Structure 1
Amino acid sequence: MQSFARTFVRNLGLFVLLGAAGPILLVCGAVGLSGSGAAGGAERGVPLVFVVVGLVATVAMGVAAFLFTRRQLGVITDRDQVSTAHHWDDDTLVLWTPRARIPTQGGRLGTAEVCEATLASYGEDWEATYQSYGRDLDPDEPKPRLRLRLRVHPDGGEPFESTHTWRVPSLCLAAVTVGRLVVVAHPTVAEGFDIDWPRSALLSGVRTFRLSGLDGRLVALTGRPDLLLELWRITGVHGRIGMAGDTIDLRRVEPAVATRLQHLVERAAGGRPTPEATPVAEQRARWVVDRLPGERGAFGGVPRRWARAGGHLARGRFLQLRATTTFQHAGPVLETVLRVFPADDAAPVDVAKRLTVPLTYLAVLHHTRQLVLRVGPDRRPYEIDWERSALAAGVSPAVVIAPDGRRFDLTGRFDTLLAIMRLLVVRGVGVPGPILDLRDRRPATAATQVMEVVGAAEPDHSPRPGFPVP
């Protein structure tokens, strides 16, 4: 990870180059004052103005460089703490995406399976690595272009296949990875249908979705495509229904519509059907993360001064992601709320922070919303370690090679990987890649403890990204 000091010095040099007029005015004013000597106020007035203006400009450059560095690195301090998210459960993810720009009048909802996905292009329309778009809430330039082969299931029609290149909003990339999309059949668009990306993110289970029934009972519709599609078809006739966070409260909905939606609460409370298994070949065919920009996974480096002073790793979790109109090449700049779980079992802390979230991480948002945080020796501030987060989230394959040569695939096993990373930090062992080879000299010092963690790990039967083990 980049250190704050080095990044600050680099940014300070950049701001000095951009605002060189400040130091120049300061020097010119100082020279003018020294040359005027004991002259009257009229002769000293102009140099004095130069000194004041130059001094203000020079100090402003340092302050601006510090604030820019703090925002760029995503350092989280006590000033970022909020109290508004404490009522959210730990498994909540509220995802606020730009509205779908598709015609809805006369359209019919359907679904589509992603049979194959490849990254066609990304970044060719960018003028710089950091861009803002004013009031345009859904610009096309920062969206990756994916070529998708879809099996479309229109409402009341025969399934058919379609291959086309689509602009995919960054916050909806995981819907492609999951392979389940919402389409709107409409005769006025070129393909005969369009993709509703915000609803696709909901359908794929990326965002949590709950219903509060007329009796106050709360049920989860997350990952229930059958119930979500029925809900949208009912509400589509009566217009959109606003959500508070990730919940629709039927007691605040028009009575006629609420009565029709109440049976969804009953069905959700009765349990969910067994999900259909997705072939591994299809998972790999859909995988586009290896070509998206963003951090690659690694067990992470261990700066000596930080580790010796008591630096350690903690767990974090996204509670909210809200789109903005600013983008960096690695990913969108998002308004986030995340919950920090201190390593000493202290009470969790909720913080709000504007962060650049890599596209590689957003593409696996369905798999985990958890993060690895690097904590300073004084237990503050926190900083997201994107290399470790990417590995623990499943962006990259994670492999441990035992001293006897056995290979253990831990891809996407967040708890196990975080425990191993903490052991490596305590031992001062840095591993720059996604493979931990305990036969090497330095990692061998922690081999016994690492193998105990690997052996104690419970089998994980949750869906994993389709990576071949290296």
Structure 2
Amino acid sequence: MRSYAGVLIGNLILAAFAGLAGPVLLVVGYVAWVEGAAWFWVAGALGIGAMGTAMIPFAAVRSARQEFPRITRRNRERDAGPAYGDDTTVVWAPRSPRGATGARLVRADVREASLVRYSPEGGGTFTTYGGDHDPAEFKATVGLRLWIHDGEAADGCSGGREVTEEVQVPSLCLSAITAGRLAVLVDPPDAPTPGRVTVLWPRSLLLAGTRTCRVIDLDGRMTDVTRYARRQLEQMRISMSVGGVVMDGDLIDLRRLDAATAARYAAVAREVVEERAPVTEPGEEARRLAEFLPGEEGAFGSVPRRWSRRGGHLALARFLSLRGRTTFQDHGPVLDTLLRVRPADGSPPYDVARRLTVPMNYLAVLHHTRDVVLRVSPNGRSQVVDWARTSLLAGVTTAQVIAPDGRGIPLPRRSEVLWPLMNLLVAHGVSNPTPVLDLREPRTRAVSETVLEMIRGAEVRVDEARL
């Protein structure tokens, strides 16, 4: 497990080699002064050398903060912006290309998805683009088998057709594929490309339920319309017809719209009656991409002995907002994020704003969960996102426990027992940097009985919930 001090020292050494000219010029300037050289030569060498030398620690600290993004008190959110609730997720995704004039907005169901290619050349470095918010290099090409709801069957039910497409998916929108619901434009028959399908990625996030959506009506009442797919699709059509409706966070306030548009929104609320769509459509295993996307594999997590003995512990946080930037790494985009931290000691939660590289495999399951695991320093003054534990908790990787008798016990994705198990291992200083916890090993003897009791208790609660 890397530490901030280790990353800083490594970057300091690299910066010293890269900026070696600064100290060399200082030595040259000193020798010139001793030898009685002209003052302007001495001043020039000493001045340039001092500036170059001073840049070494500055560059090292800056790169370490970017590579190892700690969350400290300076990241506490103090700006009186929109007040996000605990169940809010706002994702500011890249814009989608426009369809042809007269294209119809319809729903598409993802029946099957497969990763075709993803091969950027950035490596572990940060790649920044000027003005290009969503470069093709950092998009995964995904093969999709879609059912397009663009017709009416003879019996009045929704008809459609199946198409196969290869599309480039923005990293922030991968969860719409896994959820299985997309918003697409279908070109009209008189267009140069009749029937062509264009995926609208930001609207797909809304339709998938990754981004939450609420509507405030003219009487000031708020309605949560997240995952009410038919109503949202009608709202999107109204928005397109009037040139766009602004969302403040995840809110659409009808009191701020013109009377005609507000009346159309209100009519949709009265006329569209439906049940909330599932978190993910049936057949998710046929479109799960997380296992094939870059990002850290899930694990119960490493536990440095010194960190554990001095009081280091875990805490949970939730993403409230994610906003894309023009900087990318191969395993994920660099995002401006807002997290709500829930301290382990039960003290009130607080919000922090931090720029983070979010792995693509985690973004692919963002519609399921937005929880992240934080590794808290012993003094409680800093935290860092533990992506290995986060991936396991989010269901990117499947966990398994091997009982002392050799019996394998698979844990369901996003099992409620994962979080207490992680905390139990940290409390006893048991390091397990894999998703398989083997209770036959000597280091796990102190926790084996408790682990089995936790699993049995979780199984009983699941059985009772099914009755």
- CA gap of 1:225–1:147, structure 2 versus 1, over 3 A, is same
Residue of structure 2 in register with 1:400 after alignment: 401
C-alpha distance in 1, partners of 2:281/2:321?
Answer: 28
Structure 1 residue 234 and structure 2 residue 230: aligned? no
C-alpha distance in 2, partners of 1:45/1:336?
Answer: 49
Structure 1 residue 298 and structure 2 residue 299: aligned? yes
Equivalent of residue 55 in structure 1, options 50, 53, 63: 50
Equivalent of residue 222 in structure 2, options 218, 221, 224: 218
C-alpha distance in 1, partners of 2:256/2:413?
Answer: 39
- CA gap of 1:132–1:273, structure 2 versus 1, over 3 A, is closer
- CA gap of 1:312–1:283, structure 2 versus 1, over 3 A, is same
Partners of 1:295 and 1:390 within 8 A in 2: yes
C-alpha distance in 2, partners of 1:29/1:190?
Answer: 72
Structure 1 residue 72 and structure 2 residue 67: aligned? yes
C-alpha distance in 2, partners of 1:361/1:29?
Answer: 53
Partners of 1:126 and 1:141 within 8 A in 2: no
Pick which of 307-316 and 156-165 moved more.
156-165
Residue of structure 1 in register with 2:256 after alignment: 252
Residue of structure 1 in register with 2:457 after alignment: 456
SS at match of 1:319: strand
Deviation at residue 125 of structure 1 after TM alignment: 6.0
Pick which of 325-334 and 155-164 moved more.
155-164
Residue of structure 2 in register with 1:13 after alignment: 13
- CA gap of 1:313–1:273, structure 2 versus 1, over 3 A, is closer
Backbone CA RMSD of aligned residues? 2.4
Matches within 5 A, 1:392-431: 392-413=393-414, 415-431=416-432
Partners of 1:316 and 1:340 within 8 A in 2: yes
Q: Deviations over 1:226-270 (max 9, x none)?
A: 1111111222222210010000001111111111212444578x8
Residue of structure 2 in register with 1:334 after alignment: 335
Residue of structure 2 in register with 1:143 after alignment: 139
Partners of 2:315 and 2:374 within 8 A in 1: yes
Pick which of 452-461 and 195-204 moved more.
452-461
Partners of 1:302 and 1:428 within 8 A in 2: yes
Partners of 1:319 and 1:337 within 8 A in 2: yes
C-alpha distance in 1, partners of 2:89/2:395?
Answer: 18
Residue of structure 2 in register with 1:467 after alignment: none
SS at match of 1:300: coil
Partners of 1:117 and 1:285 within 8 A in 2: yes
SS at match of 2:314: strand
Structure 1 residue 94 and structure 2 residue 94: aligned? no
Aligned residue identity for 1:272: E
Matches within 5 A, 1:162-181: 162-181=163-182
C-alpha distance in 2, partners of 1:222/1:413?
Answer: 21
Pick which of 332-341 and 186-195 moved more.
186-195
Matches within 5 A, 1:16-55: 16-36=16-36, 43-55=38-50
C-alpha distance in 2, partners of 1:201/1:461?
Answer: 33
Deviation at residue 356 of structure 1 after TM alignment: 0.4
Structure 2-normalised TM-score? 0.91
Deviation at residue 153 of structure 1 after TM alignment: 1.6
Q: Deviations over 1:190-211 (max 9, x none)?
A: 8612111111111111110100
C-alpha distance in 2, partners of 1:460/1:393?
Answer: 22
Structure 1 residue 207 and structure 2 residue 211: aligned? yes
Partners of 1:126 and 1:142 within 8 A in 2: no
Partners of 2:227 and 2:277 within 8 A in 1: no
Aligned residue identity for 2:225: L
Deviation at residue 27 of structure 1 after TM alignment: 1.9
Partners of 1:85 and 1:350 within 8 A in 2: no
C-alpha distance in 1, partners of 2:330/2:464?
Answer: 34
SS at match of 2:46: helix
- CA gap of 1:445–1:333, structure 2 versus 1, over 3 A, is same
- CA gap of 1:188–1:97, structure 2 versus 1, over 3 A, is farther
Partners of 2:91 and 2:323 within 8 A in 1: yes
Partners of 2:180 and 2:281 within 8 A in 1: no
C-alpha distance in 2, partners of 1:90/1:461?
Answer: 27
- CA gap of 1:180–1:15, structure 2 versus 1, over 3 A, is same
Aligned residue identity for 2:399: A
C-alpha distance in 2, partners of 1:284/1:86?
Answer: 37
Equivalent of residue 123 in structure 1, options 119, 126, 129: 119
Partners of 1:146 and 1:166 within 8 A in 2: yes
Pick which of 156-165 and 76-85 moved more.
156-165
Deviation at residue 136 of structure 1 after TM alignment: 1.4
Residue of structure 1 in register with 2:3 after alignment: 3
Matches within 5 A, 1:255-270: 255-265=259-269
Aligned residue identity for 2:84: W
C-alpha distance in 1, partners of 2:32/2:364?
Answer: 59
C-alpha distance in 1, partners of 2:34/2:192?
Answer: 76
Structure 1 residue 153 and structure 2 residue 145: aligned? no
C-alpha distance in 1, partners of 2:359/2:393?
Answer: 14
C-alpha distance in 2, partners of 1:312/1:61?
Answer: 33
Partners of 2:123 and 2:330 within 8 A in 1: no
Pick which of 196-205 and 49-58 moved more.
49-58
Structure 1-normalised TM-score? 0.90
Deviation at residue 161 of structure 1 after TM alignment: 1.6
Deviation at residue 395 of structure 1 after TM alignment: 0.6
Partners of 2:97 and 2:198 within 8 A in 1: no
Aligned residue identity for 2:30: A
- CA gap of 1:127–1:409, structure 2 versus 1, over 3 A, is closer
C-alpha distance in 2, partners of 1:278/1:128?
Answer: 35
Partners of 1:318 and 1:336 within 8 A in 2: yes
C-alpha distance in 2, partners of 1:461/1:149?
Answer: 38
- CA gap of 1:8–1:188, structure 2 versus 1, over 3 A, is farther
What residue ranges of structure 2 are gaps of 5+ in the alignment? 154-158
Aligned residue identity for 2:275: R
Equivalent of residue 112 in structure 1, options 108, 119, 132: 108
SS at match of 2:94: coil
What residue ranges of structure 1 are gaps of 5+ in the alignment? 37-41, 463-470
- CA gap of 1:277–1:326, structure 2 versus 1, over 3 A, is closer
Q: Deviations over 1:53-99 (max 9, x none)?
A: 21222121112111211121111111111134682111111000111
- CA gap of 1:211–1:460, structure 2 versus 1, over 3 A, is farther
- CA gap of 1:189–1:289, structure 2 versus 1, over 3 A, is farther
- CA gap of 1:377–1:93, structure 2 versus 1, over 3 A, is same
